[in-house]
Amino acid sequence: MTQRKLSQEELQVLRDISIRDLLGVRSGRKEVKIRCPFHDDNTPSCSLYIDNTFYCHACAVTGKGAIDFFIKQGNSMAKVIDELANQL
Ligand SMILES: [Zn+2]
Protein backbone atom coordinates (compact mmCIF):
# COMPACT_ATOMS: atom_id res chain seq x y z
CA MET A 1 0.00 0.00 0.00
CA THR A 2 1.37 3.40 -0.92
CA GLN A 3 1.00 6.15 1.61
CA ARG A 4 -1.06 8.96 0.17
CA LYS A 5 0.02 12.49 0.89
CA LEU A 6 -3.04 14.62 1.34
CA SER A 7 -3.49 18.31 2.00
CA GLN A 8 -5.66 19.58 4.85
CA GLU A 9 -8.35 20.39 2.30
CA GLU A 10 -8.29 16.86 0.93
CA LEU A 11 -8.44 15.41 4.44
CA GLN A 12 -11.46 17.58 5.13
CA VAL A 13 -13.16 16.23 2.02
CA LEU A 14 -12.63 12.69 3.33
CA ARG A 15 -13.91 13.63 6.79
CA ASP A 16 -17.01 15.09 5.20
CA ILE A 17 -17.94 11.90 3.36
CA SER A 18 -21.29 10.90 4.82
CA ILE A 19 -21.00 7.97 7.23
CA ARG A 20 -24.62 7.15 6.42
CA ASP A 21 -23.83 6.93 2.72
CA LEU A 22 -20.84 4.67 3.38
CA LEU A 23 -23.02 2.34 5.44
CA GLY A 24 -25.90 2.49 2.97
CA VAL A 25 -28.23 4.04 5.55
CA ARG A 26 -30.90 5.99 3.71
CA SER A 27 -32.75 8.43 5.90
CA GLY A 28 -33.46 12.14 6.01
CA ARG A 29 -34.00 12.02 9.77
CA LYS A 30 -31.78 14.02 12.07
CA GLU A 31 -30.82 10.89 14.02
CA VAL A 32 -30.60 7.29 12.81
CA LYS A 33 -29.62 4.39 15.05
CA ILE A 34 -27.44 1.54 13.87
CA ARG A 35 -25.84 -1.42 15.58
CA CYS A 36 -22.74 -0.03 17.18
CA PRO A 37 -19.51 -0.97 15.41
CA PHE A 38 -17.47 -0.14 18.53
CA HIS A 39 -18.85 -2.77 20.87
CA ASP A 40 -20.77 -6.05 20.63
CA ASP A 41 -24.21 -4.59 20.10
CA ASN A 42 -27.46 -6.56 20.10
CA THR A 43 -29.75 -3.60 19.54
CA PRO A 44 -29.05 -0.42 17.58
CA SER A 45 -27.36 1.81 20.15
CA CYS A 46 -25.23 4.04 17.98
CA SER A 47 -26.75 7.24 16.63
CA LEU A 48 -25.65 8.73 13.35
CA TYR A 49 -26.59 12.36 13.22
CA ILE A 50 -27.33 14.43 10.16
CA ASP A 51 -24.21 16.56 10.77
CA ASN A 52 -22.02 13.42 10.35
CA THR A 53 -21.32 13.02 14.06
CA PHE A 54 -21.91 9.76 15.91
CA TYR A 55 -22.54 8.71 19.47
CA CYS A 56 -23.08 5.31 21.02
CA HIS A 57 -25.56 5.42 23.89
CA ALA A 58 -24.17 2.16 25.30
CA CYS A 59 -20.38 2.42 25.07
CA ALA A 60 -20.20 6.23 24.73
CA VAL A 61 -17.87 6.29 21.72
CA THR A 62 -18.36 9.58 19.99
CA GLY A 63 -16.79 11.53 17.17
CA LYS A 64 -17.26 13.41 13.95
CA GLY A 65 -16.68 12.50 10.35
CA ALA A 66 -15.84 9.42 8.35
CA ILE A 67 -12.13 9.28 9.24
CA ASP A 68 -12.87 9.34 12.96
CA PHE A 69 -15.60 6.73 12.58
CA PHE A 70 -13.29 4.15 11.00
CA ILE A 71 -10.20 4.90 13.08
CA LYS A 72 -12.21 4.35 16.26
CA GLN A 73 -12.98 0.86 14.93
CA GLY A 74 -9.27 0.09 15.21
CA ASN A 75 -8.13 0.79 11.65
CA SER A 76 -4.90 2.63 10.91
CA MET A 77 -5.01 6.20 9.63
CA ALA A 78 -3.27 5.12 6.41
CA LYS A 79 -5.81 2.38 5.73
CA VAL A 80 -8.80 4.61 6.46
CA ILE A 81 -7.53 7.42 4.25
CA ASP A 82 -6.78 4.99 1.45
CA GLU A 83 -10.21 3.39 1.56
CA LEU A 84 -12.08 6.67 1.85
CA ALA A 85 -10.10 8.19 -1.02
CA ASN A 86 -11.24 5.25 -3.13
CA GLN A 87 -14.85 6.23 -2.43
CA LEU A 88 -14.45 9.60 -4.13
ZN1 LIG B 1 -21.14 1.14 21.31
Query: Residue 5 has what pLDDT?
Result: 79
Ligand 1 centroid to Cα of residue 6, in Å, is 30
Residue 81 falls inside a structural domain? yes
Does residue 60 lie in a domain region? yes
How far, in Å, are 12, 49, 52, 69 from residue 1 at the CA level? 22, 32, 28, 21
Tell me, in angstroms, the distance from the centre of ligand 1 to residue 65's CA. 16
- The phi and psi torsions of 52 (rounded to 5 degrees) equal 70, 25
CA of 25 from ligand 1 middle (Å) equals: 18
Name which of 22, 10, 26 is nearest 75 in CA terms.
Answer: 22
CATH number of the domain bearing residue 62: 3.90.580.10
**Which amino acid is present at 52?**
N
In tens digits, the chain (88 residues) has pLDDT values of: 556 678 999 999 999 999 999 999 999 999 999 999 999 999 999 999 999 999 999 999 999 999 999 999 999 999 999 999 998 8
> Model-level pTM?
0.90
**CA 55 / ligand 1 centre spacing (Å):** 8
* Separation of CA 39 and ligand 1 centre (Å): 5
In this structure, what are the phi and psi dihedrals at residue 63, rounded to the nearest 5 degrees? 175, -175
pLDDT score at 86? 92
